[in-house]
Structure 1
């Protein structure tokens, strides 16, 4: 197994380099970079009657060439593309993600600043989804074909069919606007610092209810149906019939024999789901409920061509994804010793 782990770790290097290289090449051909945005703002300021000396204009020809070179040097565009790429790899090897062009902060600082919102959304979605979907899937497998199974399947699939953003709008209009039971925006109230600890918890849960509800309903279906199908497949196997023939009760057969084997495809997905909860980016939900998280940070960085943030977060999330995938594969051995990597 150690040779397999070493091989997977070595394969992460070309995979990571490939992702960064492709993204870096695409970035070079995308118009509207930071230099172009600076020039556009300069022309807009000149057209609006701004200080002409501030931009050193020469008639209608644009920015002074020396000033233009200074701008390119400021953003690092005075070097050839391959040198900038190698410099970026050197920084990433030291886990230096660079500094944002427009927010005057390190990329690490921006990620840490936005992470609490994404953790709140992702962790609650993860816990509620698995905490409800797994028991529901087991109950559906035990009662397969009954009215309970049919009704819950219909409800789960309807929830899955409704986009989270549409559901979020409906929740805001009904419970936030008309009934005014929940706040319309933010993760906490403005006077949160002045509240007691108990009041802070209540205030936080009050704010997080609607966005988590909008995110969690769509994730029920996959986990619920996966759990149900896994249990049904195990229940029909020969060892279950043998256990019942020996006189074991249905509950003992289900939880002692079927449960471990049926949870293999679910448990192996825990690492990815758990780690993803810390770095989830629900762009539409964050925008709708005015939550400043990683999803909104990534979107704004792409729109503003803030390349250090785009490439830095891409590097970090890709690395975490590769490591998480390896951990998920290793969980197969932990859950089922019959699996051999060789």
Structure 2
């Protein structure tokens, strides 16, 4: 097992290097820079060129890339031209919120998906199964940003059950019980909105696994030996059907990255997704490249976790 894990970790190195090059080059190809379109038009163009030269923006891309990588190796992601602070510090302020949002979304996803998938698979072709399947079809067809706006309008503005923006009520002191309750209250609606959409694929997968497992020979043999229906489901069907769901954990992390970009902007939640779009609109490419690189690394790590979990579930897939 450790050989498989080490091999996959080594494969990650060229993947991350290639990813960093692609991200940096694409950022360089984007029109304009942090001085374009958002500077007082009365500023002398020669002064703007001096600033570009000072920041090294006129250097060839490979020179800028080498400087950028050198900073990365020292933990320096550069300076944000718009936020006037270190990118490392800026990301540190936002990544905590995104972490808790992702964690809450994963929790809601599995709390919803596993019971629905088990019920739908066990009682397939019944009205209950058709109702759950109908929910998954609607979920597949509904764009996340549309669903998020509906949830915000209904539960935030119409009913007023949850806050409509921010991550905590202003003025509360960090570490107090009121601060904790406010953080949770701001977290529930965006996390639940994303979970209700992302959960549909897990429901369908678990349903299909249970239906397929019910038809296998060892299940028919267990029933022929007189095993009770509850024992057949709990000891054989569910055990074999739930294990592959664990391998989805890493891919869930990857899917959350795209989801948080929409959800955080819809709910005004100050996380990495909101920072990403803000930086693009302000042409703050230092922040854009850093955030995109972190998203890419998270996707690679998510795929690694899925491979490791799946290799534990089914040792036959391990690379010899």
Call closer, same or farther: CA 1:95–1:276 in 2, change over 3 Å.
farther
TM-score by length of 1: 0.83
Match of 2:22 in 1: 22
Q: 1:332 aligns with which of 301, 310, 315?
A: 310
Q: Quote the offset at 1:89 in angstroms.
A: 2.1
What does residue 94 of structure 1 align with? 74
Structure 2 counterpart of 1:113, from 93, 107, 119: 93
Q: Which structure has the greater CA radius of gyration?
A: 1
Distance 1:339 1:177, change over 3 A: closer
1:329/1:158 CA distance change after superposition, 3 Å: same
How far, CA to CA, are the matches of 1:245 and 1:28 in structure 2? 67
* 1:33 and 2:13 are equivalent in the alignment: no
Asked if 1:247 is matched to 2:247, the reply is: no
Write the distance in 1 (CA, Å) between the matches of 2:157 and 2:167. 17
| Alignment partner of 1:80 out of 34, 53, 60 | 60
Aligned to 2:292: 314
Does residue 295 of structure 1 match 2:273? yes
Aligned residue for 2:116? 136
Q: In the TM superposition, what is the alpha-carbon distance from 1:68 to its structure 2 partner?
A: 4.2
What is the correspondence of 1:121-132 to structure 2 with a 5 Å cutoff? Answer: 121-132=101-112
Matches of 2:25 and 2:303 in 1, distance apart?
26
- Structure-1 residue corresponding to 2:10: 10
Structure 2: 5+ residue stretches without partners? none
CA distance in 2, matches of 1:250, 1:95: 57
Offset at residue 321 of structure 1 (A):
2.4
Could you give the per-residue CA deviations for residues 139-184 of structure 1, whole angstroms, max 9, x where no partner exists? Answer: 1111111111112211332244333332333333333333333332
Aligned residues: 320
Q: Spell out the pairing of 1:219-298 with structure 2 (5 A cutoff).
A: 219-273=198-252, 282-298=260-276
Per the alignment, in what secondary structure is the counterpart of residue 33 of structure 1? coil
Residues 301 and 310, structure 1, Cα contact 8 Å, conserved in 2: yes
Which residue does 1:204 correspond to in 2? 183
CA distance in 1 between counterparts of 2:10 and 2:176 reads: 50
Question: How far did 1:275 drift?
Answer: 8.0
The answer to whether the Cα contact below 8 Å between 2:272 and 2:291 also exists between their aligned partners in 1 is: no
Per the normalisation by structure 2, the TM-score is: 0.88
Change (3 A) 1:183 1:13: closer
Deviations 1:267-321 (A, max 9, x none): 11223435876x6762332222221111111111122222221222222332232
CA deviation after TM superposition for structure 1 residue 13, in Å: 2.8
Distance in 1 between the 2:155 and 2:179 partners? Answer: 21
Whether the aligned pair in 1 keeps the contact of 2:105 and 2:191 (CA below 8 Å) is yes
Task: Tell me the SS of whatever aligns to 1:79.
Answer: coil
Q: Alpha carbon RMSD of aligned pairs, Å?
A: 2.6
Q: Compared with structure 1, are the counterparts of its residues 339 and 23 closer, same or farther at alpha carbon in structure 2 (3 Å cutoff)?
A: closer
Q: For the residues of structure 2 that align with 1:158 and 1:318, how far apart are their CA atoms?
A: 29
Q: Is the 8 A contact 1:161 1:218 kept in 2?
A: no
Rate the CA distance shift 1:170–1:145 in 2: closer, same or farther, 3 A. Answer: same
Task: Summarize the Cα distance change of 1:71–1:281 in structure 2 as closer, same or farther, 3 Å threshold.
Answer: farther
CA separation of 1:286/1:109 partners in 2, compared to 1, >3 Å: closer, same or farther?
same
Q: Which residue of 2 aligns with 1:51?
A: none
Q: Is the 8 A contact 1:281 1:296 kept in 2?
A: no
Structure 1, unaligned stretches of length 5 or more?
47-54, 58-62
Query: Taking structure 1 as reference, are residues 332 and 168 closer, same or farther at Cα in structure 2, changes over 3 Å only?
Result: closer
SS in 1 for 2:304: helix
* Residue equivalent to 1:50: none
- Deviation track 1:240-286 (CA, whole Å, cap 9, x = no partner) reads 11122222222222222222321233111223435876x67623322
